[in-house]
Amino acid sequence: MTGHAPSNLQFPHHLVASLIEEALAEDLGLAGDITTNAIIEANHISEAVLALREDGCIAGLPLAEAAFRAIDPGISFEAELRDGESAHAGSAIARVSGSTRAILSAERVALNLVQHLSGVATATRHFVEAVHGTHARIVCTRKTTPGLRAFEKYAVRAGGGHNHRFGLFDAVLIKDNHIAAAGSVSAAIERARTANGHMVKIEVEVDTLTQLEEALQHDVDAVLLDNMAVPELKNAVARAKAAKPGILCEASGGVRLVTVRAIAETGVDMISVGALTHSVKALDIGLDF
């Protein structure tokens, strides 16, 4: 796994305070940390390390820092790595020092967030490395945890992937159910183009070559080739590029690490992987005094 952070990685700082406030309120409730407050003197000071228990790509350190400092602004938090960098098991990714009570009370919220986002970044990095040398980009989907979308999409970028549309508001993606409700591919595209201005991109999902040919007769910017076998996918990409040289071709549906290379080699521009966010395994990170 490569260790370099992507350039121009922008963290959604404007959303941090509300997330941390909600997460800490959920954990502390009305009574606070009754275990720590009973055992640890108020003036007790400690130093601790956030350490990797397994190899991985890091994301979410600003959230961990915010969690500790929300309990005590005097906490010192020093990151040893940047988000987007990879490290081996045993590596220290950050050091925290100050009030022992604050460290212990914020520990779980800090770790939950950085473990989850680092899991997203690590999974993404594996997919990105699997398609290295091809034309294809690895992109995420809207299959995200409610309330965490901005951070999960950030973690995908930290892992070297790219973001698909952020929500329902920033691009048109005509899916199979839209087509079924509209009656045909053509009807759905025509209605979407009529309702939206020329600045709005339109992508349409197709799962057969017949649907693809119908979509290519209209003003679309991208086609999502859903659940196609590799030979059919290669054929679909060739047809789409021949008909509309500037069109973007996206592959989607059940993409796995063992299959993504073959998919990339069909010539698709993008491969969307819902598993990057909807079923990712958290990276094992601990806090050690």
Residues with a catalytic annotation lie at 108, 143, 175, 205, 226
Residue ranges in 134-279 assigned as alpha helix (H): 149-158, 176-182, 185-195, 209-215, 230-243, 260-264, 275-278
Do the beta carbons of residue 175 and residue 192 sit within 8 Å? no
Q: Kindly list the distances between the CA atom of residue 4 and the CA atoms of 9, 52, 85, 162, 228, in Å, as whole numbers in the listed order.
A: 12, 17, 5, 16, 33
Partners of 96 in the β-ladder: 48, 77
* Token reading at 127: 């997919």
Compute the distance between CA of residue 249 and CA of residue 178 in angstroms, rounded to an integer. Answer: 19
Residue 146 main-chain phi, psi, to 5 deg: -55, 130
In angstroms, rounded to a whole number, what is the distance separating the alpha carbons of residues 273 and 276?
Answer: 6
- Pairing relation of β-strands 56-57 and 86-87? antiparallel
Q: Alpha-carbon torsion 231, 236, 239, 244, what sign?
A: negative
